[in-house]
Chains A and B, each alone.
Chain A
Amino acid sequence: MPNVAAGASGQRATSAQIWRRRAIDLASVLVPTVLFALARTVDSNLLLLVSIMVYVVLAQGVNVIYGFTGYLPFGYVGFFGAGAYGAYVAVAHLGANAVEATALGGVAAVLVGVVLIPLLRLRGAYFAIASLAAALALSSIVSNPAVTSVTNGPYGADLTRVFSSGGSYWTAVVIVALAMVSVVALRRSRLGLLLRAVRADQVSASCAGVNVVAARTGAWLLSALLAGLAGAVYAWSISVFYPTAVFDTTISLFAIVFALFGGVGTVLGPVVGAVVLYYVYNAIGVNDPQYFQLIFGVVIVIIALFLPGGLAALALGARRRLGARRGLGGAQPVGGSDVR
């Protein structure tokens, strides 16, 4: 992967290449953000748009932790729930306004992430299951009648005092922008390079002086922050919810599948995955949920067996073939579409 090394360090790249790269970066942030901002003029169902944005952010969060480090968080919903309840506690007990509460929701998720840093010692399936256990444990604590004075326990959270569909919508747009900036920056930054080096070969990376633990922890907390913000803005957008709603493990499932479907390790893959699959879900899934789950399962199996790079790999492959036909066989992919 010579292009990745050259792209990330930027040393041997010509100035034209650098500008081209910057333009692509800017476009990968701006295009989704602007499209979501304009979407409300086309689709009046703001809550649907907020839900899609929430899943875009979650899929990017999965991308940050799985795409860059190889840690697959089955319990990703734990951060989402922590964000939602962080926002509730901020409004109910600290008198915060909705925007402050959203930010504090993100902080709450990061705190949970800090507590769970030891999980990063585990690998592979152990990590996946441990993160799920952590999310289920958190859910069981939040909904316990013994903590009613803090979280209102099983009786549910009420944020109607700060409800504003427009406010939560615009905040969600800003969070999408933040998620896109995070992923672009991560891809371009030293941290991102380190992470990918670690993912490719942990031993030689650490021999080369890479602080593997710090790099991973950074990615972990960033993905926690994104999920927390998503959870908080989601909580704000519906305003009345129960613990089961925000700790629903299908939220993790969706986020992971959307990210894998679009292609992890890329900038735009998870966005496309989330938008396409969530719209499909809303179109078919609502009427025939079992058949949708069946299709969903088959899609995962196909991705696992034949298409580990997701849609992005498919697009890349098509472009390579196209290039080869035009006699540009050696052309290297650029910007957001190169895979790993």
Chain B
Amino acid sequence: MVLYALISGILIGLFYGFAALGLSLAFGVLRVVNIAHGDVIVLGSYLAYELSTQAHLNPLIAIPVAIPVAVVIGLAFYRLIAPSLGRSKDPEMLSLILFFGVSQVIEALATIGFTVNQDTLLTGPVGNGSVQILGQTFPNYEPVAAAVAVPGALLVMLYLYRSRLGLATRALMSSRADALLAGIDVGRTSALSFGIALALAASAGVLSIYVNGGVNPSQGADLTTTAFAVVVIGGLGNPGGALAGGLVFGLAEQFAQSYEPNWAGLVPYALLLAVMLAKPEGLFGRRARYA
């Protein structure tokens, strides 16, 4: 049981980390609090569902389909809201309220388009079999989710640390004013970061339909809360931190389910509160990043 909870916690935790990556990026770079993050995940799930049931494609194909679409939407949408954000005295709070509205819109549209019923995918991402790891048996989507999450996070890291745009993004993350002074096109860099953030959320949705046992339009709020918990635990704006936060969250949840299922619902929230109060910069956040 210990071993099972440990492995399952790691696999699901990596998924949680991946699901939170977009939120972390948007907040870390743009100071935009995307409350609709979970709803974008839900849209990703529906894309996978439709591709699988209507076009009979492997649901994982939804990831390459979703990425360009999400980036384009993100670019356009950010351009639309940037003036208001720029004008506001408190852009962080403004974005919080704005995306709260966006999340209501997405949920309403999803309800109109896909009905309220839970939709599930009966064919797994790689067949329906289970996988043996260290003598324990797991549904195969758990390792698949982890196997998508890790390279996904690595790609984001490569982008941030090995590309010119990434360098600009990191400059923006540490100081908007300095980035402007250094001649960085803040508008373009910001919009692109927002697009990438949405693409990450939609990709996570393709895995979420499996990990969360299906998709329904009202799932978004819970997913946002989970993602936020992960981001807060891991520290902001740092892909590695998000994955680490996901691991802590996943392990806590899975061990609670193993030993105290009665209280398993409380654990993520208690953990979130404890981390926020004890170490607001996150367990893996480095203050130096912002200096």
Q: Do chains A and B touch in the complex (CB under 8 A)?
A: yes
Q: Which residues of A contact B (CB under 8 A)?
A: 70, 72, 118-119, 121-122, 124-126, 128-130, 132-134, 136-137, 140-141, 144-146, 249, 253, 256, 260, 290-291, 293-294, 296-306, 308
B71-99 residues with Cβ-Cβ distance < 8 A to A are 81, 84, 88, 90, 92-94, 96-98
Within the assembled complex, what's the spacing in Å between the Cα atoms of A81 and B132? 45
Q: Which residues of B contact A293 (CB under 8 A)?
A: 104-105, 107-108, 111
From known contacts A125-B27, A136-B269, A144-B262, infer whether A290 and B111 are also in contact, taking CB-CB under 8 Å: yes
Determine whether the beta carbon of A301 is less than 8 Å from that of B98.
Answer: yes
Q: Which residues of A contact B277 (CB under 8 A)?
A: 118-119, 121-122
CB distance from A115 to the nearest CB of B (A): 11
Task: Report the 7 A-B pairs with minimum CB-CB distance, sorted nearest first.
Answer: A300-B101, A297-B104, A297-B105, A304-B98, A294-B108, A293-B108, A301-B101
Determine whether the beta carbon of B280 is less than 8 Å from that of A122.
Answer: yes
Given contacts A296-B101, A300-B100, 14 further A-B contacts (CB under 8 A): A119-B277, A125-B96, A126-B280, A129-B229, A130-B273, A133-B229, A137-B269, A140-B266, A290-B108, A293-B108, A298-B101, A301-B101, A301-B102, A301-B105
Determine whether the beta carbon of B81 is less than 8 Å from that of A305.
Answer: yes
Interface membership of B255, Cβ < 8 A: no
Within the assembled complex, what's the spacing in Å between the Cα atoms of A280 and B78? 31
A-side binding surface: helix, strand, loop or mixed? Answer: helix
Within the assembled complex, what's the spacing in Å between the Cα atoms of A128 and B229? 12
Within the assembled complex, what's the spacing in Å between the Cα atoms of A140 and B228? 19
Determine whether the beta carbon of B280 is less than 8 Å from that of A300.
Answer: no
CB distance from A300 to the nearest CB of B (A): 3
Interface membership of B263, Cβ < 8 A: yes
Determine whether the beta carbon of B107 is less than 8 Å from that of A122.
Answer: no
Determine whether the beta carbon of A297 is less than 8 Å from that of B101.
Answer: yes
CB distance from A203 to the nearest CB of B (A): 14
Determine whether the beta carbon of B101 is less than 8 Å from that of A124.
Answer: no
In the assembled complex, 22 residue pairs joining A and B whose CB atoms fall closer than 8 Å, in A order, are A70-B93, A72-B96, A119-B273, A121-B277, A122-B277, A124-B33, A124-B96, A128-B96, A130-B276, A133-B269, A137-B273, A140-B263, A146-B262, A249-B221, A290-B108, A293-B105, A293-B108, A296-B104, A296-B108, A297-B101, A300-B101, A301-B105
Q: Which residues of A contact B92 (CB under 8 A)?
A: 124-125
Within the assembled complex, what's the spacing in Å between the Cα atoms of A305 and B81? 8
Q: Which residues of B contact A308 (CB under 8 A)?
A: 88, 94
Within the assembled complex, what's the spacing in Å between the Cα atoms of A118 and B229? 17
Q: Which residues of A contact B229 (CB under 8 A)?
A: 129, 133
Interface membership of B190, Cβ < 8 A: no
Contact with B90, one of A70, A118, A122, A249 (Cβ below 8 angstroms): A70
Q: Which residues of A contact B81 (CB under 8 A)?
A: 305
Within the assembled complex, what's the spacing in Å between the Cα atoms of A304 and B98? 5
**Least CB separation from B109: chain A residue:** A294
Within the assembled complex, what's the spacing in Å between the Cα atoms of A311 and B104? 20
Q: Report the tally of A-B residue pairs with Cβ distances under 8 A.
A: 120
B47-93 residues with Cβ-Cβ distance < 8 A to A are 81, 84, 88, 90, 92-93
Q: Which residues of B contact A122 (CB under 8 A)?
A: 276-277, 280
From known contacts A129-B228, A290-B111, A301-B105, infer whether A145 and B98 are also in contact, taking CB-CB under 8 Å: no
**Least CB separation from B277: chain A residue:** A118
**Least CB separation from A296: chain B residue:** B104
CB distance from B25 to the nearest CB of A (A): 14
Interface membership of B19, Cβ < 8 A: no
B95-123 residues with Cβ-Cβ distance < 8 A to A are 96-98, 100-109, 111-112
Interface membership of B174, Cβ < 8 A: no
Determine whether the beta carbon of B270 is less than 8 Å from that of A137.
Answer: yes
Determine whether the beta carbon of A130 is less than 8 Å from that of B97.
Answer: no
Determine whether the beta carbon of B225 is less than 8 Å from that of A133.
Answer: yes
Interface membership of B187, Cβ < 8 A: no
Interface membership of B265, Cβ < 8 A: yes
**Which of A121, A122, A141, A308 has the most chain B CB atoms closer than 10 A to its own CB?**
A308
Interface membership of B156, Cβ < 8 A: no
**Least CB separation from B107: chain A residue:** A293
B150-176 residues with Cβ-Cβ distance < 8 A to A are none
CB distance from B37 to the nearest CB of A (A): 12
